[in-house]
Amino acid sequence: MNCTQFHDQMAALADGSLDEKAAPPLRAHLATCPSCQREFASLSRTLEKLDALPARPPSHRMRATLAGMIETEKLTQRHQAGWASSIRQAAARPPRRRSWLAPLLQVLGAAAVLAFGFFLGERNANQRQLAELRARVDTMGQLVEQSVLQKRTDGDRLETVLNATAVTSPKPDERLIDGLINTMAFDPSVNVRLNALTGLYAHADQEVVRAGVLACLPREGNPLVQVSMIDFLVAAHAREAGPVLRKLAADDKADTDVRESARRASELL
Amino acid sequence: MSTAAAEIPVHPPAYAVRSRALPPVDTTSPLSDHELMIAVRDGELDAMGELFERHHGPLFGYLTKLTGNRTAAEDILQNVFQRMLKYRHTYRDEGSFTAWMYHLGRRCSSDYFRKANAAPLPVDPVDLEDRADEGRGVDEAAAANDDQALLRRALDRLDRDDREVLLLSRLQELSFAEVANILECSVGAARVRAHRALRALRDHYFQLQKESPT
């Protein structure tokens, strides 16, 4: 074996991927060639250093993030299962027997409904829709309150908050907003508190919401939630948050990320 | 509604669902990675916690070396596990979990590099700190740190494809056949590329050593 042939397979010998049958002639050449010994040593040393390159573990928040992803995926799974079940039930329902009278009754019924609709007018219809929406929002507000008060499981409370944030109403509901603020302030689960805060984004134009987030910021114990609250205040252009943010930025006991976020936010505001 | 409210994002921010400790996993009879992933695919999502515990360390190390950016590596790591959950139904009965995970890692890092090329990310101060004090204590390992910094710079000088194949080939969990599968090339081609990358790394590393003032 000459040096060129050795060089062609040197890397495979160094990284251990060489077939054992092919190794002896290479090793024999290596033992007798000082030039190839230097080449091989430099390659092996580079590999050793590459393998020994330290890598610190990722932030501890990664675990929390994954847990949140799993919980979210579970909720999606449950919702999908619910839809699938409804569709299966509908598909399994036996078709009803229809008599010759049915089409006639349907036509008469439709005409009656049409006449009734004209009678009530468009205004009444709009009022009815608004009332239904209002009732839905009221119910959701009660659910948020009850969910926190009854101390159900984290997953249940999270689901309630997620449902509450999905409700869109032309007029913000005080009870719903109060429920979300209370949840953000007092819920024991960081995940639920974060989602309640997310739900409050839709109502960030309200002073009571900005004041609620601002009041909770100094007493919040979790840095992730604190940083999220600071982001919220910046997004809501809450200029009144300046003194609290500056105080937090100067607090030696606060988390480094929180202090940095507070400093940046106070500059932005 | 005020003008401030109009600028508020419509979609919930990225931190929307986070926190909580990972759910406990029954460890009385340890399952293989493949069995755990099959369980995840079949709806037992908590099993993903155990897979994370087993694999996030090496995967994160690989991503940190590949991107040279710790914050980016964390983002990619998060995306990998998010995709595992989202696309769990695509995991095959005869699959290798590790190869699948690094395959997703490759996709996610490609996305990262595409975005980074479009808009270069600012240097993260955290990375500078990491590079300064990673490993042993500063006093006893200043020289080692300098050496590691040189090697990291040499890695940064490699083409991304070369860096990728070299780092994948050094992972103990992956065979060359699996690396070839991840890179969608033949085993021979993967081997040749990895060896070429190793030689290039060696050359960059020794060149940097020569240029180094000490």
B2 and A202 in contact (C-beta within 8 Å)?
no
Q: Report the mean per-residue pLDDT for chain A.
A: 76
- The tokens for A65 are 């993030």
Distance of CA B58 to the CA centre of its chain: 8
Q: Tell me the whole-structure pTM to 2 decimals.
A: 0.55
> Does any CB of chain A come closer than 8 Å to the CB of residue B129?
no
Q: Which of A159-173, B72-86, B163-177 has the lowest mean pLDDT?
A: A159-173
Chain B, 177 to 206: residues with Cβ < 8 Å from chain A are 191, 194-196, 198-199, 201-202, 205-206
Residue type, position B113, single letter: F
CA distances from A225 to A212, A255, B12, B164 (A): 14, 12, 14, 36
Q: How far is B118 from chain A (nearest CA, A)?
A: 26
| B interface test, pick of A47, A56, A180, A261 with most B CB neighbours within 10 Å | A56
Q: A13: nearest CA in chain B?
A: B195
Residue B131 predicted with pLDDT over 60:
no
- The tokens for B14 are 């990225």
What is the distance between the terminal CA atoms of chain A, rounded to a whole angstrom?
73
Instruction: Look up the ipTM and state it.
Output: 0.73
Spatial distance between the Cα atoms of B83 and B111, rounded to a whole number of angstroms: 13
Spatial distance between the Cα atoms of A237 and A220, rounded to a whole number of angstroms: 20
Residue B110 predicted with pLDDT over 50:
yes
CA atoms within a 13 Å half-sphere pointing along the CA-CB vector of B30: 5
Mean pLDDT of the B42-54 span: 91
Residue B37 predicted with pLDDT over 90:
yes
A14 and A7 in contact (C-beta within 8 Å)?
no
**In which residue ranges of chain A is pLDDT below 70?**
79-154, 165-172
Spatial distance between the Cα atoms of A128 and A137, rounded to a whole number of angstroms: 14
